C-alpha cells in the first residue's frame, strides 16, 4: 500500500498526457470567441495547463485553497494577455476546452469531483488575474506620471499608515514639504525628483504633491530632521526651493493637519 496519501484524480494524468491537445482546443475556442480579439492566442498555454495538473495533484487544504505556484503562472499569463478582459475571456475558453477534452477520459465515479476541482481552479485563476489588474491600476493611480514619484493620493494613504504604525510603537516621524522656486518645467521636475529620491534614506518615501510641490515622509525621526534633509538638498544639485516641516504627533494627528502645518511653515520661509 502507498503511504503517500490518496491517489491523485485521473484528471491529473489526462491533463499531462493531453496538454498539447488541450492547448490546441483552447486556442481554437479563443480564436472563434466573438468576445475576444480576432486570432486570440492564449499565452504560455502549456505552462498554465501544467500548473493546473500540479495543483490538482497536490491540492491545498480542503482541496480548493489558493495554490501559490499556480498564482505565479497566472500572474505571467494575465500580464501577457494584455488586458483583464482578454485574460478572463481566455480562461473561460480554457474551462470549456478542459470539459471537452477530459469528459470521456476519467472514471465516472471521479467526474463530479474532477469537474468541481477544475472549475475551482478556473475561478481562482480569474480571481488572481483580476487581483493583479486591480493592483496594477492602483499603482498607476498612485504614481505621478511626470516624475515617477508617488502622488498626493499615495501621500495621504502613507501618512495614515505611518500614523498608525507610530502610534502603535510609540514612535515619531516627520513630513517635509518642499516647493520649487525655479525650474518647475517637466525637465526640472524630473531632475528635482531624482535628487530628492537619492537624498533620502532607504526607509523614507518621496512624493510629488502638485505643481512644483514635493513631500517626503521621514520615518522614525524627531522634529528638525527635515531641516537636515533640506540642507543636504540645498548643498547638492537641487533647484532652488523653500521648505516646511511638520512632526507627528506633536503637530497633528491626521494627514491634512500635518500638510497644512508643513505648508504654513513653508510659506513663512518665502
- Confirm whether 220 is domain-assigned: yes
The three cell numbers locating residue 217: 515622509
The DSSP code sequence of 54-117 is HHHHSPPGGGTS--HHHHHHHHHHHHHHSSHHHHHHHHHHHHHHHHHHHTTTS-HHHHHHHHHH
Those residues with Cβ within 8 angstroms of residue 65's Cβ, 6 or more apart along the chain or in another chain: 59
Which among 141, 164, 180 is the end of a domain?
141
- Confirm whether 106 is domain-assigned: yes
**Is there a single domain that holds both residue 110 and residue 21?**
yes
**Is there a single domain that holds both residue 174 and residue 256?**
yes
CATH code of the domain covering residue 171: 3.30.70.270
d(CA 17, CA 21): 9
Note down pLDDT in tens along the chain; length 270 residues: 344 555 678 999 999 999 999 999 999 999 999 888 887 889 999 999 999 999 888 766 544 456 778 888 998 898 888 888 999 999 999 999 999 888 888 888 988 888 888 898 899 899 888 888 877 776 668 889 899 999 999 999 899 999 998 998 889 999 999 999 887 788 889 999 999 999 999 889 999 999 999 999 999 988 788 999 999 998 877 789 999 999 999 998 899 999 999 999 999 876
The three-class DSSP label of residue 4 is coil
CB 23 within 8 A of CB 45: yes
The three cell numbers locating residue 10: 485521473
**Is there a single domain that holds both residue 53 and residue 176?**
no
Cis peptide before 249 (omega within 30 of 0): yes
**Is there a single domain that holds both residue 241 and residue 163?**
yes
- Confirm whether 4 is domain-assigned: no
**Region of residue 148 (phi > 0: left; psi between -120 and 50: alpha; otherwise: beta):** left
d(CA 20, CA 115): 20
**Is there a single domain that holds both residue 137 and residue 166?**
no
**Is there a single domain that holds both residue 192 and residue 91?**
no
CB 129 within 8 A of CB 78: yes
**Is there a single domain that holds both residue 120 and residue 163?**
no
Which among 82, 114, 141 is the end of a domain?
141
Phi, psi of 182, deg, nearest 5: -160, 165
In DSSP terms, 257 is beta-bridged to none
**Is there a single domain that holds both residue 61 and residue 85?**
yes
- Confirm whether 1 is domain-assigned: no
**Is there a single domain that holds both residue 122 and residue 15?**
yes
**Is there a single domain that holds both residue 190 and residue 228?**
yes
CB contact burial 242-260 (16+ within 10 A = b; e otherwise): bbbbbbbeebbeebeebbe
Which among 106, 121, 141 is the end of a domain?
141
- Confirm whether 2 is domain-assigned: no
**C-alpha dihedral (176, 227, 145, 237), degrees to nearest 10:** 170
- Confirm whether 226 is domain-assigned: yes
In which domain, by residue range, is 188 found? 152-268
**Is there a single domain that holds both residue 16 and residue 56?**
yes
Least Cα distance to 71 among 115, 131, 21, 22 occurs for 131
pLDDT (0 to 100) of residue 199: 93
**Is there a single domain that holds both residue 67 and residue 176?**
no
- Confirm whether 239 is domain-assigned: yes
Structural domain tally of the chain? 2
- Confirm whether 146 is domain-assigned: no
Amino acid at each position: 500500500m502507498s503511504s503517500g496519501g490518496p491517489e491523485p484524480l485521473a484528471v491529473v494524468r489526462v491533463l499531462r498526457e493531453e496538454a498539447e491537445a488541450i492547448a490546441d482546443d483552447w486556442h481554437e475556442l479563443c480564436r472563434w470567441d466573438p468576445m475576444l480579439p480576432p486570432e486570440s492566442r492564449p499565452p504560455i498555454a502549456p505552462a498554465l495547463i501544467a500548473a493546473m495538473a500540479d495543483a490538482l495533484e497536490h491540492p491545498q487544504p480542503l482541496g480548493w485553497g489558493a495554490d501559490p505556484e499556480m498564482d505565479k503562472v497566472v500572474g505571467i499569463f494575465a500580464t501577457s494577455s494584455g488586458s483583464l478582459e482578454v485574460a478572463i475571456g481566455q480562461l473561460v475558453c480554457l474551462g470549456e476546452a478542459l470539459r471537452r477534452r477530459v469528459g470521456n477520459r476519467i472514471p465516472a465515479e471521479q467526474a463530479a469531483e474532477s469537474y468541481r476541482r477544475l472549475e475551482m481552479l478556473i475561478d481562482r485563476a480569474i480571481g488572481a488575474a483580476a487581483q493583479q489588474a486591480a493592483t496594477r491600476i492602483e499603482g498607476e493611480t498612485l504614481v505621478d506620471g511626470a516624475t515617477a514619484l508617488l502622488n498626493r493620493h499615495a501621500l495621504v494613504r502613507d501618512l495614515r499608515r505611518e500614523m498608525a504604525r507610530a502610534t502603535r510603537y510609540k514612535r515619531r516621524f516627520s513630513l517635509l514639504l518642499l516647493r520649487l522656486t525655479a525650474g518647475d518645467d517637466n525637465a526640472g521636475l524630473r531632475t528635482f525628483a531624482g535628487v530628492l529620491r537619492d537624498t533620502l534614506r532607504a526607509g523614507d518615501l518621496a512624493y510629488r504633491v502638485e505643481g512644483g510641490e514635493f513631500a517626503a515622509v521621514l520615518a522614525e525621526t524627531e522634529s528638525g530632521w527635515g531641516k537636515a534633509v533640506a540642507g543636504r538638498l540645498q548643498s547638492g544639485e537641487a533647484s532652488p526651493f523653500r521648505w516646511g516641516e511638520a512632526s507627528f504627533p506633536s503637530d497633528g494627528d491626521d494627514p491634512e493637519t500635518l500638510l497644512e502645518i508643513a505648508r504654513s511653515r513653508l510659506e513663512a520661509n518665502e
